[in-house]
Amino acid sequence: MASVVKVENLSKQYRLGEIGTGSIAHDVNRWWHRMRGKENPYLKIGEANDRSKKGESEYVWSLKDINFEIEQGDAVGIIGRNGAGKSTLLKILSRVTGPTTGSVKVKGRIASLLEVGTGFHPELSGRDNIFLNGAILGMRKHEIQRKFDEIVDFSGVERYIDTPVKRYSSGMYVRLAFAVAAHLESEILIVDEVLAVGDAEFQKKCLGKMGEVNTGEGRTVLFVSHNMNAIKALCQTGIYLESGLIRAEKDGIDELINLYLEQSFDKEKESPINERIDRGGNGTARIIELGLAEAIEGNCLSLGKQISLQFRYICKIDGFRGKVLISINNQHGQTVLFLDSTTTNNAPAIYRKDGSIRISLSHDFGLPIGKYFINIAFFVDNEMADYVQSALIFSVVEGKFFETAFMPAGRAVCFIKQKWDFY
């Protein structure tokens, strides 16, 4: 089958540090002082003005010597840890940015859904942005009108379709953006992890639609996600990126996911959550501590031991409607437990500015021996304020299972204490 995407010797380099900060007048004034050997007049208090490093800049390779081909009709999952270069690759394929070296050859039109805000004009209404995106793809007005009702119905923002999208919540924005990308006529659909902003029901709806356009319409799909179950459900092949390099590329998505998860767990322990910079959300709140109350050395829990999570958060505002979502995944990427603070009857209606939360699971629930990682998201007034993937990694080790010394013989993602009556 013919290749629709061909990437050869692709590299992307970024320069670190300040580039054109402030106004033009500030930049000119800063340059004038530097030419006369004087200090930068806009340095903050306590910052050094080391002119011995004049002309030096630090660069980083986001991608380095990437080569791959994608055939028509493929559904390709792109996986890797935060900072691996996944989003940069999609931006280059979508022509949002260009490569430093190498070439990208694409056959067909591309519809892409990258980070929130890409591809829409904030001052235009939802209606106008639909027609704008269609025009960019080369569609005629009557072709877009034919798809218009489907797009609006799928997105669920009919009531706000004539409102400027700058007034949309991030969830509304993503729903409309995905509906536009999926329904307009393109040969290649590119979707980044941005779907994590939507609720669980909409994510499921999006995965179903991507599967439909791939298998039903024969369109090529490139999908980036940290949700290995979603990758496994949609994709047949995959690319594993690590530090800007292709670590592995396989036709069997299961084998690739297993390799990624094994290597992720074999790495050194994660940094404390307050030191993590690879986090999502709008920054209104921040999770600064996360731990297992009953853990022994090395974040280990004995088999059958009660699981209690506790964390601290800080927020920029006081008196807000909060929500906490936590998923516990096993080493195969399966979500074995999903926790939602809105399902408990003692959650506060209004959260205070800074606080601590403890979640204790039932004594009747147990996890098999193995490694697990915890993802946590904190919401402020229905907007995701903080999200940390693999915020805590822990292991379940041998111990007494529900007051006995025996493990159930069968395999399972979790165990529940049972009562047996014999007659």
Q: Which residue has the tokens 């009562």?
A: 419
Domain ranges of the chain: 61-266, 273-407
Rounded-to-integer distance, Cα 214 and Cα 379, Å: 33
Tell if the pTM clears 0.75, that is, is over it. Answer: no
pLDDT of 360 > 80? The answer is yes
| Per-residue model confidence as pLDDT tens digits over 165-176 | 888 887 788 888
Give the torsion through C-alpha atoms of 89, 91, 97, 99, to 10 deg.
10
Share of the chain above pLDDT 90, in %: 12
Q: Which single residue is written with the structure tokens 């921040």?
A: 286
Confidence of residue 51 (pLDDT cuts 50, 70, 90): very low
What average pLDDT does range 382-393 have in this prediction?
88
Multiple choice CATH, 61-266, 3.40.50.300, 3.65.10.10, 3.40.30.10, 3.40.1360.10:
3.40.50.300
Where is 183: in which H helix or E strand? helix 170-183
**What is the distance between the terminal CA atoms of the chain, rounded to a whole angstrom?**
64
Just give the CATH number of 273-407: 2.70.50.60
The pLDDT confidence band at residue 408, using thresholds 50, 70 and 90, is low
Write the DSSP string, 257-326: HHHHHHHHHHSPPPPPGGG----BS-SSEEEEEEEETT-BTTTEEETTPPPEEEEEEEESSSSB-EEEEE
Helix or strand (DSSP H, E) at 254: helix 253-266
pLDDT of residue 83 exceeding 70, the answer is yes
Kindly tell me if the per-residue pLDDT of 321 is higher than 60: yes
3-state SS assignment for residue 56: coil
